Amino acid sequence: MSIPSPLAQRRYLKMNGLGNAIVVLDLRDVDVAVTPAEARAIAAQPATAFDQLMVIHASRTPGIDARIRIYNTDGSEAQACGNGTRCVAWAMLGPVLEPGRERLTLESRAGLLHVTRKGDLSFTVDMGAPRLKWDEIPLAEEFRDTRMIELQIGPIDAPVLHSPSAVSMGNPHAIFWVEDPYAYDLERFGPLLENHPVFPERANIELAAVRARDHIDLRVWERGAGITLACGSGACAAVVAAVRKKLTDRRVRVTLPGGDLFIEWREQDDHVLMTGPVELEHAGTFAPEIFAGAA
């Protein structure tokens, strides 16, 4: 006889951050952790299919509003998700701007995340400082300059993609600089690059095209999720990498398939700020039968 999942009949929110499919699950009232099998079961349902599952837990630290755990569709945990963090802020602060309910501080595997409401449906997330050293990203071998690492796909004399920038925004990113992000078969190359031996924790893969000093076009293969319409940490990583290569200024509009994010790599404290929208698609409860065999 199987044990019922404690997630059965729990309320969820299906949201999106710029098209990035997000499910928000609030578990602050119970001491329960989501298992990888339960995350996969939720992702497999049409109504709750997600790019990231954002689970809100009660904080163990005084002065911190909540602790978040982030799951990919394959059940693995992610350290950071900027678009999902904005959705969590909307779920916690409420749908309408209210005086005194404008800021949150959240714990994550990537560190503390500070979120500020910019309007009823827009939030700014302080993603903290990027990590740029090879062993912080991490990479499997030493590269003194992570603005360009030795990695390529295709023939040695005519590689299809090569020489990406490497950045960690709490999770590892490899940014390939191209003329047209849509000219490449990312569905084919994404899994190969995500799981390349140079990335011991796998990596998010970005194809980036610089359009102006304040504009980047971006397409993303997310670690553990695949091609997504948007990726907040990926947009942050791309801007950091572009600034380091002197390709853009520090305030950049990043256009993804789902729309625009506005990124600032602040010079005075090295923090990366990401501003963008959220949208509620529907609310519901998990049917017990979806967790059969997953508890």
pLDDT of residue 79: 87
pLDDT digit string, tens, across residues 24-65: 999 999 999 999 999 999 999 999 999 999 999 999 899 999
Q: Are strands 52-57 and 20-26 parallel, antiparallel or unpaired?
A: parallel
What does 149-164 look like in DSSP terms, one character per residue? -S-EES-TTS-SEE--
Largest CA distance in the chain: 61
85 and 54 Cβ atoms separated by less than 8 Å: yes
Catalytic residue (one of 25, 34, 56, 231): 231
Which of 29, 32, 44, 40 minimizes the C-alpha distance to 5?
Answer: 32
Query: Which residue, among 138, 227, 153, has the nearest Cα to 192 in the 3D structure?
Result: 153
- Nearest residue to 25 (alpha-carbon basis) of 287, 284, 291: 284
Domain match, 233 and 162 both: yes
Kindly state the tokens that stand for 276: 């963008």
Please check whether residue 156 lies inside any domain of the structure: yes
Convert the pLDDT of each residue in 145-157 to its tens digit.
999 999 999 888 8
Is the residue at 113 inside a domain?
yes
pLDDT at 20 over 80: yes
In a domain, 116, yes or no: yes
Neighbours of 143 (CB within 10 A): 17
CA angle, residues 206, 103, 228, in degrees to nearest 5: 20
Same domain, 121 and 169: no
Residue 80, pLDDT score? 86
Whole-model pTM? 0.90
Phi (first) and psi of residue 269, to 5 degrees: -130, 5
Asked if residue 37 and residue 84 are part of one domain, the reply reads yes
Place of tokens 């980047």: 216
The predicted structure's pLDDT at residue 50: 96
Q: In this predicted structure, what is the pLDDT of residue 1?
A: 46
Q: Are 233 and 157 part of one and the same domain? A: yes
Residue 147 lies in a domain: no
141 belongs to a structural domain: no
| % of the chain at pLDDT higher than 90 | 86
Query: Are residue 210 and residue 243 in the same domain, yes or no?
Result: yes
Number of domains in the chain: 2
User: Which position among 41, 81, 110, 241 bears the catalytic label?
Assistant: 81
Mean pLDDT of 1-9: 79
Query: Has 87 been annotated as catalytic?
Result: no
What confidence tens digit (pLDDT) does each residue in 163-199 have?
999 999 999 999 999 999 999 999 999 999 999 999 9
Same domain, 266 and 285: no
What residues make up the domain containing 66?
Answer: 11-128+279-291
Does the structure show a pLDDT above 70 at 248?
yes
Tell me: do 175 and 200 sit in the same domain: yes
Residues 20 and 69 in one domain: yes
Task: Please check whether residues 110 and 192 belong to one and the same domain.
Answer: no
Q: Which tokens is 10 given?
A: 């729990």
Residue 77 has pLDDT above 50, yes or no: yes
In terms of phi and psi (left: phi > 0; alpha: psi -120 to 50; beta: otherwise), the region of 18 is left
Percent of the chain residues past pLDDT 70, beyond the cut = 98
In a domain, 183, yes or no: yes
Answer yes or no: is 256 within a domain.
yes
Kindly state whether residues 67 and 120 are assigned to the same domain.
Answer: yes
Same domain, 164 and 201: yes
Please indicate whether residue 231 is annotated as part of the active site: yes
Q: In CATH, what number is assigned to the domain containing residue 238?
A: 3.10.310.10
Please check whether residues 84 and 192 belong to one and the same domain: no
